[in-house]
């Protein structure tokens, strides 16, 4: 198991993205990056060379085979990932990319005036879906889905829409799962099979995910 991914190049996204409203405010989410960084460490420990594109997070990579590219916005993450995708064997989209961004970001702090403030939002690029259109047969792609209702059907729809080989589903309805926890409870959905796991530490969850990817690649 130690060198099971030796020679493989793995691209991982992690953490949130922050979409600027003005120089001091942003739209973001509660992602810590823990899951993506745990996956990067796990792949590196098994011999892979890992490119980790990370949004704003306090996490630090420990393994020398993990190279981190720091980004802030979804557009920056997409540009970084595009540069690395073609040379990578495995893609893991673990980042919680903001779905929308302000149409216009003010270059100065917006002053408080009136009882309401209206922001016009526009869609960010769906990074996994965009790259899914360019994925080669020899590349393996993994997405993540954080859901609150119709979990399995929503995740399976994303699996097909984004041309993923598997999608890791976690639900905010499960205690100890989702953002800000050191634990997670996942179900991995593939086109022909579904594998459920118990609540575990994120480092153990990363092992489960990497194990299953290895089984699919080396079966």
| Residues that are catalytic | 29
For the segment 29-41, the average pLDDT, to the nearest whole number, is 94
Domain residue limits at 27: 9-100+120-218
Q: Could you read off the pLDDT of 67-82 as tens digits, one per residue?
A: 999 999 999 999 999 9
Is residue 204 assigned to a domain? yes
Is residue 14 assigned to a domain? yes
For the segment 12-39, the average pLDDT, to the nearest whole number, is 95
Q: How far apart are CA 197 and CA 210, in angstroms?
A: 13
Enumerate the β-bridge partners of residue 115: none
Residue 182 pLDDT grade (very low, low, confident, very high; cuts 50, 70, 90): confident
Quote the pLDDT of residue 179: 64
Is the model's pLDDT at 109 over the cut of 80? yes
- CA-based nearest residue to 53, from 72, 73, 64, 69: 69
Overall domain count for the chain: 1
80-94, 95-109, 174-188: the lowest-pLDDT one = 174-188
Is the model's pLDDT at 132 over the cut of 80? yes
Give 108's contacts (C-beta < 8 A, 6+ positions apart): 22, 23
Better-predicted residue by pLDDT, 218 or 211? 211
Quote the pLDDT of residue 1: 59
158, two tokens? 């994303």
Is residue 29 assigned to a domain? yes
Is residue 77 assigned to a domain? yes
The DSSP element (H or E) to which 156 belongs, if any, is helix 151-161
9-18, 47-56, 85-94, 113-122: the lowest-pLDDT one = 113-122
Cβ proximity of 136 and 90 under 8 Å: no
Q: How far apart are CA 210 and CA 189, in angstroms?
A: 14
Any idea what the CATH number is for the domain that residue 187 is in? 3.40.50.10300
- CA-based nearest residue to 167, from 178, 157, 155: 155
């Amino acid at each position: 198991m130690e060198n099971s991914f030796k020679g493989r190049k793995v691209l991982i996204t992690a953490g949130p993205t922050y979409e600027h409203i003005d120089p001091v405010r942003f739209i973001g989410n509660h992602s810590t990056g823990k899951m993506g960084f745990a996956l990067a460490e796990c792949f590196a420990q098994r011999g892979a060379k890992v490119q980790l594109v990370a949004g704003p997070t306090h996490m630090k990579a420990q393994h020398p085979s993990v190279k981190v590219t720091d980004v802030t916005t979804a557009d920056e993450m997409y540009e970084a990932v595009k540069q690395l995708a073609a040379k990578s064997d495995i893609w893991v989209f673990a980042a919680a990319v903001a779905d929308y961004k302000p149409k216009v970001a003010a270059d100065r702090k917006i002053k408080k005036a009136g009882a309401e403030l209206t922001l016009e939002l526009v869609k960010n690029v769906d990074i996994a879906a965009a790259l899914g259109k360019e994925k080669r047969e020899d590349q393996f792609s993994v997405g993540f889905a954080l859901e609150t209702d119709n979990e399995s059907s929503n995740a399976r729809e994303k699996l097909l829409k984004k041309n993923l080989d598997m999608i890791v589903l976690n639900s905010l309805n499960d205690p100890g799962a989702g953002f800000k926890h050191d634990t997670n409870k996942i179900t991995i959905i593939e086109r022909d099979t579904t594998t459920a796991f118990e609540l575990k530490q994120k480092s153990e969850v990363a092992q489960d995910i990497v194990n299953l990817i290895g089984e699919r690649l080396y079966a």
